[in-house]
Chains A and B, each alone.
Chain A
Amino acid sequence: MKRVLAIARLTFWEGIRMRVVLVCLIVLVILVLRMPFALRGDETLAGRLQNFLAYSLGALGLLLSLTTAFFSCATLSGEFKSRSLHLVVTKPVSRFEILFGKWLGVNLLNILILALCGAAIYGLACFIRSRPEQFVRDRYKIRDVVWTARHAARPVVPEKEIAETAAARVNNLIQQGELDKTRRLPALAEEISAGIKRWRVVQPGYVADYRFENLTPPEQPDTVIQVRFKVVAQPVPMDEMVTIGWVFCDPNSGAPLSPPTWTRERSSAVHQFLVRAAPVIRNGQALLQVLNDPARGPTTFVFDGADSLEILYKVGGFELNFVRALLIILLRLTLLSALGVFFSVFVSFPVACLCTLSFYVICLGQPFWLEAMGAGNEGAAPQFDPFGVFGSAIRTLLVPLVRLGFPDFSYYDGVDRLIDGVYIPNGLVVGGLIHTLLYGTVLLFGPGWLIFRSREVAEVQV
């Protein structure tokens, strides 16, 4: 281990001296320091804070990724080129220890930069947070929407009622002879599925109840929760706007707690509003009624998708969330560093950089690439297939390769959640650990080590 640490230390100092790392660091520092004053977001304090977090952490992730790719590719290939590796391999150091030491050294540098920049970003975020707010609501928004970690509760599907109604309906059809007994189970499944879809629909003139459970009681009397929704209007009105009534009710008695609040929003877009938590959360439950007044527009509301209606409530603090977001960035960097070292084992520096950065770009936009190659669109006619008649053959090869060979960085991303004040679950960090760190180390210390071990570092001439 001593030998590994010694190589790691040397690599670390090599990184510190490397010009490309230095340039990236300087750019990063300038950007992070300038951002709090240059970014205005939507001009609210909460918007500024969210904007700063998004751009600073985005810049940190991007620039460190580039630095890591260059540095990890350069460290081994440079030694190959300068033949300084000859001095190392002649020492009692195994090839595995060299690889491990290099990888560790790159990541030690990453950890240091990430910690310093993370601390700077946190400090500047605190500075923005302490600025005077323009509106009272802004203060609540910062406290309970941004500087927090929230969980998104979705309405509980009344499965029992839906199943009972579906069973009654199917039985009725069987009794009337309209349905064969042998088709009972598939018909029941269809009815239940249709019932759940109907439960998400609010017809004109109707009121729908949505119950939320396991909500955390508010910490303070003025704590707010956020209702986030995306309504699809059917048919879509001329101006695409829908007027929706919202009433929170007592979850026990069902009695409305206030007169309805009417919002007028655009169909198919995400909207949100704040509500004081104390009056509406009772025994960890909340009951939200959605009103569709035909006088305000004869259109049906559909909450299309599981995340189309959510209540976001506090479950944790911002700081831990921030640390998790940084950790996810670090995991990405460990993968990239492993890849860089892996490629530099058998190709030259430019090729290794190209391979690592290509890998990075594919991972960053994995959903885009999959969509572009028509994944999930298997049954499409050749004229709609991006690859024409060869579509199915190409997809059979490419889709599993992209899915398994390239981790989805957009999924393993804590920044979006952090700026939205959404709790970053430990499961995501662990998943990231497996898909990035483990993936990288397996690649590096499996095939990478095998190639490196069998590679002739210097041609021996007798």
Chain B
Amino acid sequence: MRKARAIQFLALVCCVGLLAAAATRMGAINAGRQKLNTMGATSPLENAPPQYAFFIQALGAFRGLIVDLAFIRAEEYKEAGRFFDAMQLARWICTLQPHFPTVWEFAAWNLAWNISVTTYTPEERWNWVYNGVKLLRDQGIPFNPQAVNLYKELAWIFNNKMGEVTDDFHYTYKCNWAWRMHVLLGSPPIPQAELDPNALARETSTEAVTDLLGPAARKAFVQNEEKRRAEAEKRGEKYTIRSLEEVTKAGAAPVLEVTTYEVTKRAALERVRRLDEAPARLADLYRQYPDARRMVTALQDLDIDLNDDPLTEDDYWCDGGLAFTFFVPYRKVVDPVSMFALVTHEDPNADAERVRGQKLDAILGVRAGNPAGEALVHWLQKKVLKEVYKLDTQYMLQVVENFGPVDWRSVDAHSLYWVVRGLVAGGETVSGFFNDKVNTARIMFFSLRNLFLRNRMIFEPYPPKIYLSYLNVGRDLNFIEPMHEAYVKFGPLFDPRGGTGAGELYRIGHLNFLSEAIRLLYISGREAEADHYYKYLQQTYPTNEQGQLSPALSKTLRDYVMGSFIESIQTGGVREFRLALDGLLTRAYNDLAAGDSGQYVRIVQRCRELYEQYMKDKRSAIMASKALFSFTDIQTDTFYAWLAQPVPTPMASLHKVRLWRAAPLFLRQGVYDELRPLFEAECTDWGFDIAEAFPEPPGMADYRHLHPDRRRPERPDEVETLPMKIGD
């Protein structure tokens, strides 16, 4: 008995001793966890739902071991294509380790990138990609609000998976996201129509706003110190230490009065500010607008129950949810009739929604400008943004203030938003993981580039099949300045080699970007801005990479721009000139189809100038047989070619419809008879009403009488020849 007691006592002493020894290692273990970013600032049990709390408590330290095994197994299942098993394990890993950001990253990546590509229908693809978004946005980030890599991952799904064109179904993703935001917020404001004059007085200077990229860039700058020194020594130069302020000051662009940009931005800011200033709770709304109480009560007759209860995405989008009972009919009332709805009669719900929308408007009086109705809509929009899409209007304001008038229907606007949130959250992170911040900041560049390329958006939803909606994106000149600012401000800081302007690393990218920006601004009639960037280009990048003077930059602005369309007006042949003109006119027609008639007119004017200049310069040299057609003929021919191209989808056909309905009469009259059979065939294929889609231009009888034949008179040597050179 005594022996047994002795053994028990010895075992107890051993246990205590081992525990004490293990406790001495806790400091080192926690330091390692912190270094690897596996430790959140909050307690694992904080805000944890019951089932999470149960597993965390029940398994204790064995959680880590189980998670490791589950991770290995999930990877194996993934390799074997057993995604259902991999996902179930990933879900358990998330339950066991909710405060370990990597597990959320792993699961979301699997959903959005791996599982999604195993499916081949638009609905399924979108479902998986959006599940990845929801997992991060609704669960991962709330559990780990300081984990930069989760924000980065979320932004990357928006930027790369949805925004780029590498995924076959990228159009589906863009349409689905645009639809969600379109239903809620509608099209972006038209500056002249919506800008509140009072907003001008509250003008915000872009220089004064919080510098969001700053912390990451400053770290990059400090870290690159040694690399800069090595690069300078490699070049045989003496290295001088420069402060961050010196570099920033040297790289900063001269201040520019960008009127169109500023006006558009102010309108966009005003739109978001109205949402931001909307009351957070119904009681506050009633206090400000007592009439809103009556409206909320009246809306109950339409089965719309507005309250302060939390709103989930499933509740919002279900049958009878606010998306369908409130916002879709509301859009029918406040938005113009879409072209798609005009030419098709496929959506059986459209009329019912319109009637419902009218009832809504009768209660809210939005079209009549009832401030209480508008405030109620803003309150609801803010609520949905916050509770369904986890979008904070404060951050939305910051995005517009810092980067420009984003269209929130664009996926790139949201990649920018989540990057901004990630960088702000990362500023408070316990780990200070440098690489995550720089990589996150890089997505900001990608997002801005995409916004420049695609932020001008025409979206006409087709709710029965959203992926068949009409989505036309184009370059947005309002993102030239933000992109340029990002280049000159942050390029040198990320680049260890130094250099002027955006630094050596981004030199080519910046140069190409500016060249395109100058060209676009010039042909858009924004010559002052084009001239500003051209001067910057001449001053900052006067030489090419070999150090030789760049001949292209010694020209006048006009020649520089025109030279980029035609290699040289002075040396180009008729064919080259015609090709350049066709290219410009095609762009003009694209703009017209996208609803930008102003841009169309400006480009056509530029083309006319070019044409007249060319004819004047070359009159003596052009032989009669190779003379260009009249400018009207060229316009008509290009118009014809644009409309005659085969279309694989109803959306492409709709693009034609938009151009047709917007094009000048003389163009339509010139091609109508020839294109009529094609129009009929397309309308039959896609179920369009031809009378609405391609109506016969007025005055066709007279036109036919006056122009029995569009052919030119025959010429003896109508043969294609090599381009004629000056001096031939």
Contact = CB atoms under 8 A, between A and B. Distances in A.
A137 B124 contact: yes
Given A42-B115, A137-B121, A271-B118, 13 more contacts: A39-B88, A40-B88, A41-B84, A41-B85, A42-B83, A54-B85, A135-B124, A228-B81, A264-B117, A269-B80, A270-B79, A270-B81, A272-B118
Contact of B91 (A40, A48, A269): A40
A265 B116 CA distance: 11
Contacts of B88: 39-42, 51, 55
A135 B578 CA distance: 51
User: Which 7 residue pairs are nearest across A and B when measured between Cβ atoms?
Assistant: A47-B84, A41-B84, A270-B81, A42-B84, A42-B87, A42-B83, A50-B84
A134 interface: yes
Contacts of B114: 266
Interface string B90-124: 01000000000000000000000011011111011
Interface string B674-696: 00000000000000000000000
B596 interface: no
A137 B168 contact: no
B209 to A, nearest CB: 37
Contacts of B87: 40-43, 47
11 contacts: A39-B88, A40-B87, A40-B91, A42-B84, A43-B87, A54-B85, A263-B120, A269-B78, A269-B79, A271-B81, A271-B118
A44 interface: yes
Interface in A252-277: 261-266, 268-273
B187 interface: no
B698 to A, nearest CB: 42
A100 B120 CA distance: 57
A402 B90 CA distance: 34
Contacts of A43: 87, 131
A263 B81 CA distance: 15
B352 to A, nearest CB: 25
B133 to A, nearest CB: 14
A263 B91 CA distance: 28
A134 B84 CA distance: 15
Q: Which of A41, A50, A264 has the most CB of B within 10 A?
A: A41
A55 B124 CA distance: 25
Contacts of B81: 228, 269-272
B85 A51 contact: yes
Interface of A: 39-44, 46-48, 50-51, 54-55, 134-137, 228, 261-266, 268-273
Contacts of B91: 40
B129 to A, nearest CB: 13
Size range of the chain B interface in the assembly: 20 to 34
B127 interface: yes
A39 B95 CA distance: 13
Contact of A47 (B80, B83, B120, B168): B83
Interface in B168-182: 168
A258 to B, nearest CB: 13
Contacts of B115: 42
A268 B84 CA distance: 19
B119 A137 contact: yes
Contacts of A135: 119, 121, 123-124, 127
Contacts of A268: 79
Contacts of A48: 84
Nearest to A273: B120
Contacts of A44: 84
Q: Which of A42, A55, A135 has the most CB of B within 10 A?
A: A42
Contacts of A54: 85
Contact of B117 (A39, A41, A261, A265): A265
A230 to B, nearest CB: 8
Contacts of A263: 120
Contacts of A265: 117
Contacts of A39: 88
Contacts of B85: 41, 50-51, 54
A44 B84 CA distance: 8
Nearest to A230: B81
A36 to B, nearest CB: 13
Nearest to A269: B79
Contacts of A262: 168
A40 B123 CA distance: 19
Interface in B36-93: 78-81, 83-88, 91
Interface string B121-139: 1011001000100000000
B84 A51 contact: yes
Contacts of A273: 118, 120
Nearest to A420: B82
B466 to A, nearest CB: 15
A77 to B, nearest CB: 25
A265 B118 CA distance: 8
